[in-house]
């Protein structure tokens, strides 16, 4: 572990990299394993007292929980977690770690479609015991929300929201004493309950109820004389969510969507009165581990990213840390109780993609390790933000990443649309993008209409445009880059996952003449079938989930004939380019049958395709073995159908 002054620690890392570059020629591209394996370091967390680091180190699909004594630079504990799928790690107090994992299974291993079940465990650093948290009598012990920690009279309690057996799908609130592991029910829940907020005193101070069929949402507040209805709203698609304590540490912060705009409201915990709404301009929010109040956040508008803390003392600490990493993207990950020790994730051209620990009292910084250590910082390509005009004149923000060392002219291109579709791409490290660029391809990542995270109406412009302008926004980007001479318009393929996988299939079936090949990872091909599967998964013929998809598709449920015109499976006979289908068998978001039926349609139409099954893999590519299998399949497919070193 290298050590330096906090002002110089980032630059020393860069100097070391530069010295390496001067001593020898630039290293060749790393093997695909360097990108395809799980991150080497995950969930780097500092204890509240600032004395220990907890993190998970991976070796293939095996995970090891590590506790490090910071002052002694000594590894205290290593606990094998096996091949579990890690979803979260945090300190409950100075002696206990909360671990959230998930598994894919059917209810009772028999009934209905597969689901992703989330489970909480606790690790006692003194006894070195790892135990699954059991909520209490009648609880299913699976999570419907993140665990909540509260310190009450010197004792640590964990609150879990979980379905109750004796009440079907009713969500109850349970409290677990970490010292004794005893759990009791705090609130039994109502048939429409979908969430709770726990106050600092351990009482449930707010409850939300939601009826999916009608979209009726209610917020109940525990007033002096009992529960009162604070607000009733009709929210057929976007039900509000409870975020935590507001900045004042007394009122509740609620996120709503009004006229397609994300808004924040504060709600009085005394009488349930709502304050005036303020626009939500955050990309992430930070809450204090002791007071649980909102203390800051990340504002990401376009390509301008700013981290702010509301309290001047904490903001001054953060500004000092940012100065240590000029021109880098620095994100706070975890901090000590006094905020004097902060774990950050550094992402940029000089320092690569790595964790660091900054100590404001010692005025020093330690590099903790690279997330992808086998990818040298100097070989991490940096996305370039730009924009182009869609055919109808709409500005489309996008990122272009170029292969290092190649002329900026006539490059082979991979269009890589993001999933969601209401997500967005950014300049943050992307292992799939970096792998493609390392093999000589330029990569275009358009934030097409329907993308979230912008405040200029880009999201709303996508309503009803699934398979229509959302699709042509992608090919408009290809035409723009071709007119600039940056890429060879005859050497373009498209590759994406989830909605991006749909866009890859639609690029082949609905927007011909643009791409030489299309690689689809877990994308829906038959939208009628997709909406039917949503009904089965939710157990409801009409729900907010179904209405969400209808909004983008411009449809009114699975029987709407408009779906046939935007489903790639209906146009298999018109496909004229090779297609790669890759899908995980444990996918609970886009069912594996979507790729099965597309493969069958292509086969019947006599069209060239390759189908790769990822056994035991979910929608999020949670295993090293299958990540690498995907990467190898995609790269073999691209090299065969769009080799980077040839024209044509």
Return the minimum-mean-pLDDT range out of 24-38, 203-217, 257-271, 527-541. Answer: 24-38
- CA nearest neighbour of 571 among 518, 493, 642, 648: 518
- CA nearest neighbour of 454 among 385, 551, 502, 547: 385
What pLDDT, on a 0 to 100 scale, did the predictor assign at position 610? 98
Percentage, residues of the chain above pLDDT 90: 80
In a domain, 47, yes or no: no
Domain boundary among 270, 288, 310: 310
| pLDDT, tens digit, 9 for 90 and up, residues 528-577 | 999 999 999 888 899 999 999 999 999 999 999 999 999 999 999 999 99
Asked whether residue 250 falls in the same domain as residue 393, the answer is no
Q: What are the structure tokens assigned to 293, written together? A: 């109040």
In a domain, 126, yes or no: no
| pLDDT, tens digit, 9 for 90 and up, residues 352-363 | 899 999 999 988
Distances from the Cα of 20 to the Cαs of 2, 354, 396, 398, in angstroms? 16, 18, 39, 33
Asked whether residue 197 falls in the same domain as residue 281, the answer is yes
Contact residues for 262 (Cβ-Cβ < 8 A; gap 6+): 255, 256, 279, 280
Q: Could you tell me the CATH number of the domain that includes residue 449? A: 3.40.50.1820
In a domain, 72, yes or no: no
Q: What are the structure tokens assigned to 455, written together? A: 């405040």
Asked whether residue 303 falls in the same domain as residue 432, the answer is no
Helix 527-538 crosses helix 593-604 at what angle (to 10 degrees)?
Answer: 160
Average pLDDT over residues 221-244: 93
| pLDDT, tens digit, 9 for 90 and up, residues 26-73 | 468 999 999 999 999 999 999 999 999 999 999 999 999 999 999 988
Asked whether residue 279 falls in the same domain as residue 424, the answer is no
- Mean pLDDT, the chain, rounded, equals 91
The pair phi, psi for residue 548, each rounded to 5°, is -60, -50
pLDDT of 14 above 50? no
Domain boundary among 310, 333, 353: 310
In a domain, 306, yes or no: yes
Give 168's pLDDT tier (boundaries 50, 70, 90).
low
Average pLDDT over residues 254-260: 90
The residue ranking higher by pLDDT, 24 or 313, is: 313
Return the minimum-mean-pLDDT range out of 157-171, 338-352, 447-461, 592-606. Answer: 157-171
| pLDDT, tens digit, 9 for 90 and up, residues 67-106 | 999 998 888 777 899 999 999 999 999 999 999 999 998 8
Contact residues for 180 (Cβ-Cβ < 8 A; gap 6+): none
What pLDDT, on a 0 to 100 scale, did the predictor assign at position 109? 56
Residue 616 CA to residue 214 CA, distance in Å, equals 36
Average pLDDT over residues 309-327: 92
In a domain, 331, yes or no: no
Sheet holding 352-359, edge to edge: 3-5, 364-370, 352-359, 341-348, 329-335
Residue 173 CA to residue 160 CA, distance in Å, equals 6
Residue 630 CA to residue 588 CA, distance in Å, equals 18
In a domain, 343, yes or no: no
In contact, 495 and 518? CB cutoff 8 Å: yes
What pLDDT, on a 0 to 100 scale, did the predictor assign at position 106? 82
| pLDDT, tens digit, 9 for 90 and up, residues 578-608 | 999 999 999 999 999 999 999 999 999 999 9
Residue 391 CA to residue 150 CA, distance in Å, equals 53
Residue 216 CA to residue 212 CA, distance in Å, equals 7
Average pLDDT over residues 265-282: 90
Q: How many domains does the chain have?
A: 2
Give 303's pLDDT tier (boundaries 50, 70, 90).
confident
In contact, 95 and 124? CB cutoff 8 Å: yes
Domain boundary among 249, 278, 310: 310
Asked whether residue 406 falls in the same domain as residue 521, the answer is yes
Asked whether residue 302 falls in the same domain as residue 386, the answer is no
Asked whether residue 305 falls in the same domain as residue 385, the answer is no
Residue range(s) defining the domain that contains residue 296: 190-310
In a domain, 288, yes or no: yes
Residue 524 CA to residue 530 CA, distance in Å, equals 7
Residue 267 CA to residue 275 CA, distance in Å, equals 6
In a domain, 480, yes or no: yes
Residue 445 CA to residue 495 CA, distance in Å, equals 10
pLDDT of 15 above 80? no
Average pLDDT over residues 493-522: 98
Asked whether residue 281 falls in the same domain as residue 399, the answer is no
pTM: 0.92
Return the minimum-mean-pLDDT range out of 413-427, 471-485, 486-500, 533-547. Answer: 533-547
Asked whether residue 472 falls in the same domain as residue 612, the answer is yes
Three-state SS at 4: strand
Asked whether residue 305 falls in the same domain as residue 391, the answer is no
Asked whether residue 460 falls in the same domain as residue 596, the answer is yes
What pLDDT, on a 0 to 100 scale, did the predictor assign at position 2? 31
User: What is the b/e burial string over 228-253, where b = at least 16 CB atoms within 10 angstroms of the residue's CB?
Assistant: eebbeeebbbbbbebbbbbeeeebbb
């Amino acid at each position: 572990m290298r050590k330096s002054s906090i002002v110089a620690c980032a630059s020393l890392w860069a100097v070391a990299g530069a010295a390496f570059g001067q001593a020898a020629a630039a290293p060749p591209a790393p093997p695909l394993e360097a990108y395809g394996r799980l991150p080497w370091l995950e969930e780097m967390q500092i204890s509240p007292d600032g004395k220990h680091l907890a993190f998970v180190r991976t070796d293939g699909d095996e995970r090891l929980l590590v506790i490090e004594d910071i002052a002694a630079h000594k590894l205290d504990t290593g606990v094998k977690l096996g091949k579990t799928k890690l979803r979260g790690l945090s300190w409950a107090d100075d002696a206990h770690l909360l671990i959230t994992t998930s598994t894919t299974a059917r209810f009772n291993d028999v009934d209905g479609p597969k689901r992703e079940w989330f489970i909480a465990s606790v690790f006692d650093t003194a006894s070195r015991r790892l135990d699954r948290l059991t909520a209490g009598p009648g609880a299913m012990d699976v999570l419907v929300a993140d665990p909540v920690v509260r310190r009450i009279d010197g004792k640590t309690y964990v609150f879990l929201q979980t379905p109750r057996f004796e009440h079907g799908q009713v969500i109850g609130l349970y409290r677990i004493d970490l010292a004794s592991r005893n759990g009791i029910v705090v609130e039994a829940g109502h048939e429409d309950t979908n969430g709770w907020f726990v106050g600092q005193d351990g009482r449930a101070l707010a409850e939300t109820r939601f009826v999916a069929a009608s979209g009726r949402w209610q917020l109940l507040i525990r007033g002096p004389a009992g529960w009162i209805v604070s607000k009733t709203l009709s929210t057929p698609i976007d039900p509000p969510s409870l975020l935590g304590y507001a900045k004042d540490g007394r009122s509740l912060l609620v996120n709503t969507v009004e006229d397609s705009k994300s808004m924040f409201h504060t709600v009085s915990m005394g009488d349930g009165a709502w304050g005036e709404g303020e626009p939500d301009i955050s990309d992430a929010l930070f809450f204090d581990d002791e007071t649980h109040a909102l203390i800051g956040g990340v504002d990401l508008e376009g390509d301008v990213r700013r981290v702010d803390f509301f309290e001047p003392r904490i903001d001054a600490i953060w500004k000092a840390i940012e100065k240590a990493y000029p021109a880098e993207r620095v994100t706070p990950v975890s901090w000590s109780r006094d905020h004097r020790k902060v774990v950050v994730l550094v992402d940029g051209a000089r320092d690569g993609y790595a964790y660091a620990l900054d100590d404001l009292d010692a005025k020093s910084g330690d590099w903790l390790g690279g997330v992808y250590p086998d990818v040298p910082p100097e070989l991490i390509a940096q996305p370039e933000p730009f924009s182009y005009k869609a055919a109808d004149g709409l500005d489309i923000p996008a990122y272009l990443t170029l292969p290092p060392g190649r002329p900026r002219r006539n490059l082979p291109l991979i269009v890589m649309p993001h999933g969601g579709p209401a997500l967005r791409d950014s300049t943050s490290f992307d292992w799939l993008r970096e792998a493609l660029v390392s093999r000589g391809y330029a990569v275009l990542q358009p934030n097409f209409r329907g993308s979230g995270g912008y405040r200029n109406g880009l999201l709303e412009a996508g309503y009803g445009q699934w398979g229509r302008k959302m699709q042509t926004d992608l090919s408009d980007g290809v035409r723009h880059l071709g007119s600039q001479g940056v890429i060879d318009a005859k050497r373009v393929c498209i590759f994406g996952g989830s909605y991006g996988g749909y866009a890859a299939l639609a690029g082949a079936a609905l927007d011909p003449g643009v791409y030489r090949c299309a690689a689809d990872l877990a994308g829906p091909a038959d939208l009628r079938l997709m909406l039917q599967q949503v009904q089965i998964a939710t157990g409801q013929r009409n729900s907010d989930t179904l209405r969400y998809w209808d909004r983008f598709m411009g449809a009114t449920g699975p029987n709407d004939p408009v779906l046939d015109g935007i489903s790639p499976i209906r146009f298999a006979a018109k496909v004229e380019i090779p297609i790669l289908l890759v899908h995980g068998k444990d996918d609970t978001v886009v069912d594996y049958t979507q790729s099965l039926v597309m493969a069958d349609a292509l086969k019947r139409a006599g069209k060239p395709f390759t189908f790769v099954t990822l056994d035991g893999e979910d929608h999020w590519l949670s295993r090293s073995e299958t990540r690498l299998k995907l990467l190898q399949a995609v790269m073999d497919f691209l090299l065969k159908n769009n080799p980077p070193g040839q024209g044509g």
